[in-house]
Amino acid sequence: MSQATTAAPQRTTAPTGFSMFIYRLKKSLLTPDPYLTVFGVALWLFTWWLLCEGLRVDRFDKIPGPVAVFSELFSRTPFQGISIFKSEYYEHILVSCQRILIAFGIATGVGVPLGLFMGWSKRIRDYAFPILEMLRPIPILAWVPLSILMFPGFEAPVIFLATLASLFVTTLNTMLGVDSIDEAYFRAAGCLGSSNWDIFKNVVVPGALPFIFTGLQISIGVAWFSLVAAEMVSGDLGLGYLIVDSYMNNVTVPMVIGMITLGFVGWITSVMVRMLGNWLMQWHVKALALQGR
């Protein structure tokens, strides 16, 4: 007598970690998005060349074009002193990155818990929110004289200014993340007998994470342009100092090199924050991937 056998259904597991990254990368290559990005960069470079070196349009003829900038950047003997073969170039990048790391770390370590508690507790919000809203509109450059008076040396004022700008963005986005959580989750957790700490740990923090990492991506960008403004005033090294020092010495190519380098390094740090967020929120990334996003 023959015995019928049935094959057990195979369970497919969703990709995680690095496999998720590869999956999303392969999927993106099937869409026009990356090719439009390359086309956009090429169009920007062509427009820059056309205005500054091709047609030499008035008001643009004093700005170095891409040929002059990249020739100097990749030259072993740069005429104006800055290229990828000079240690001074990497020293400026390293100093700025160190300052950003410290400022962003302080802003995250203070802003995320403060935002969580402001969203969780009405009393804390009533105390802290008016102060933040009063200080937030003050431009960073307005804080420069006070920071120089309060902190000695060059490093502390620069880090303070970058931290201050980043702190506001991180705190408010975290608070909005807590506000976005559906009240039904709090009621369900309360009906199941969860303590306040359990609700905070298992509902508030995970629910606010997408807003937190969105805020952190904005925050690190704010930290970069605040850092550059501070380095222009009170720094002795760094990309901001390179830009303003080149302008004061009437050497425009290093100034543009500093600006391009700043944009590239800032973009890299933003991508790193996004990747960290995707790693910590794999459940959220999987949900977006299933939605085709």
pLDDT value at position 2? 47
Q: Is residue 1 part of a domain?
A: no
Given this model, what pLDDT does residue 81 score?
Answer: 85
Give the span between the Cα atoms of 189 and 186, in whole angstroms. 5
How many whole angstroms separate alpha carbon 43 and alpha carbon 99?
33
CB 169 within 8 A of CB 223: no
Is 7 contained in some domain? no
CATH number at residue 193: 1.10.3720.10
Question: Mind listing the pLDDT tens digit of every residue in the chain (293 residues)?
Answer: 444 444 444 554 555 555 666 766 777 777 888 888 899 999 999 999 999 998 988 888 889 999 999 999 999 998 888 999 999 999 999 999 999 999 999 999 999 999 999 988 889 999 999 999 999 999 888 888 888 888 887 788 889 999 998 999 999 999 999 888 888 888 887 787 778 888 888 888 888 888 888 889 999 999 998 888 888 776 678 998 999 889 888 899 999 999 999 999 999 999 899 888 877 776 555 555 554 55
Number of domains in the chain: 1
Whole-number Å distance between alpha carbons of 230 and 25: 37
**Cα 254 off chain centre by:** 24
Predicted confidence at residue 1, as pLDDT, reads 47
Q: Is the dihedral of CA 64, 91, 107, 147 positive or negative?
A: negative
d(CA 234, CA 157): 7
* 21 in any annotated domain: no
Rounded to whole angstroms, how far apart are CA atoms 268 and 31?
23
Q: How far is CA 49 from CA 65, 80, 93, 125, in A?
A: 5, 20, 26, 51
Q: State which residues form the domain around 120.
A: 86-290
Residue 57 maps to a domain = no
Tell me if 195 is assigned to some domain. Answer: yes
Q: What is the pLDDT of residue 190?
A: 78
Within-domain flag for 63: no
Q: What is the pLDDT of residue 284?
A: 52
Closest CA to 85 of 257, 251, 228: 257
The predicted structure's pLDDT at residue 18: 59
Does residue 52 lie within any of the structural domains? Answer: no
By CB atoms closer than 10 A (0-12, 13-18, 19+), residue 98 is middle
Calculate the CA 278 to chain-centre distance. Answer: 14
3-state helix, strand, coil in the chain (%, to 5): 75, 0, 25
Distance CA 9, CA 22 (A): 26
Q: What is the DSSP string of 43-80?
A: HHHHHHHIIIIIS--TTTTTS--HHHHHHHHT-SS-TT
Predicted pLDDT at 228: 82
